[in-house]
Amino acid sequence: MSIYIIDKKIMIKATWSFIQKFSSPPHFYRISGKMQPWFMAIFIGTLIYGLIGGLYLAPTDYQQGDSFRIIYVHVPAAWMSMFIYMVMAFCAAVALIWRIKLADIVLISSAPIGAMFTAIALATGSIWGKPMWGTWWVWDARLTAELILLFLYLGIFALYNAVEDKRTGSRFVSILVLVGVVNIPIIHYSVEWWATLHQGPTVTKFDKPSIHIDMLIPLLVMAISFKCYYITTMFSRARTELLERESNAKWVTKLLVPTKAD
């Protein structure tokens, strides 16, 4: 029993030191730089495969015709908009509880990418809606919830940019993101309830349960592709942010001007 407890303590200690080591700015900067090209390659590879599969190989939908092919950007973008917010919420919790610098940086580097995916999901949803519903905008539950999510993202930028000190700004943003993440399920539920009340549940939705396997595989491939895109781009932004915040640190000097480091 006691051995088990000691073991557990050592395990926790080891995990903790691993987290601290990985999250130390120079280590993250180096590792992310090494991993970036790989994620870029997976992104491009899966993107090409997904696009061929989705635009060419997947059979035409018998109800929606070829317009359904918009889902291969719309749905992964909508998934990413939520996924990135969840990543940000996780980072916010880590940043507030353990004061890990890296979490702050990943959070704020993710925000523009998340907002971009939200905007893409909204725009493509609206473009898809035009031939399907006959109008550019319908107060459909998913689109409306996505619109609210965009405002949550915009609020994060507004708050972060209004604070002069970036450290304080990040901590404000962490609280805002956590408040937002508690609210997202509530907003989704309430908007869904509101939409069914106002227009009846007959509206065709994107994810019909009977999706053909040839249609589904490209969709999942595109989802992987977008995730790799996010990691690649976020790494780049995080590294910029790290350089900015740590510009006086020794590791930056060592890295950028190897001869001058003494």
Partner 1 sequence: MSEFLHMGGYASFVWSSYALSFILMFGMMFLSFSQHKKKQKIIQGRIIRAAQQKAEKKREEENE
Partner 2 sequence: MAKTRVSTRKAFSVIIWRDLMLSIRHPSEIINPLLFFIMVIILYPFAVGSDAKLLMEISTGVVWVAALLASMLSLDSIFKEDFADGTLEEMILSAHPTSILVLAKVFAHWLLTALPLIILAPILAVMLGMHDDGIVVLLLTLLIGTPVLSLIGAIGVALTVSLRGGGVILSLLILPLYIPVLIFGSGAVNNAILGLDVQGQIYMLAALFVLALFFAPLAIAAALKISLS
Instruction: List residues binding partner 2 (CB under 8 A).
Output: 96, 148, 151-152, 154-155, 158-159, 162-163, 168, 171-172, 175-176, 178-180, 182-183, 186-187, 189-191, 193-194, 197
Residue with tokens 């557990």: 8
159 binding partner (options partner 2, partner 1, none; Cβ < 5 to 8 Å by kind): partner 2
The partner in contact with residue 245, picked from partner 2, partner 1, none with C-beta cut-offs of 5 to 8 angstroms by kind, is none
Task: Decide whether 22 or 193 has the Cβ nearer to partner 2.
Answer: 193
Binding flag, residue 120, partner 1 (CB under 8 A): yes
- Asked if 224 and 215 count as a contact pair (C-beta separation under 8 A), the reply is no
Binding mask 46-85 for partner 1 (x = CB under 8 A): ---------xx---x----xxx-xx--xx--x--------
Can you read off the two tokens belonging to residue 127?
Answer: 């473009």
Contact between residue 105 and residue 241 where contact means Cβ atoms under 8 Å apart: yes
- The residue among 187 and 249 lying less far from partner 2, judged by its C-beta, is 187
Residue type, 133: W
Give the CA count within 13 Å in the CB-facing half-sphere of 154.
Answer: 8
C-beta closer to partner 1: residue 152 or 229: 229
- Which C-beta is closer to partner 2: that of 172 or that of 251? 172
Output DSSP code: residue 59: P
Q: Which is nearer to partner 1, 132 or 187 (CB)?
A: 132
**Euclidean distance between CA atoms 16 and 19, whole angstroms:** 5
Please report how many Cα atoms fall inside a 13 Å half-sphere around the Cα of residue 214, on the Cβ side: 9
Q: Does 214 bind partner 1 (CB under 8 A)?
A: no
Per-residue tokens: 203: 């509206």
Closest CB to partner 2 among residues 82, 231: 82
Task: In whole angstroms, give the CA distance from residue 236 to residue 258.
Answer: 21
Nearest by Cα to 26 from 249, 203, 221: 249
Residue 116: name its binding partner from partner 1, partner 2, none (Cβ under 5 to 8 Å by kind): partner 1
Name the binder of 23 from partner 2, partner 1, none, CB < 5-8 A by kind. Answer: none
Q: Which of 258, 261, 262, 255 lies closest to 26, judged by CA?
A: 255
Q: How far is the CB of 243 from partner 1 (least distance, A)?
A: 5
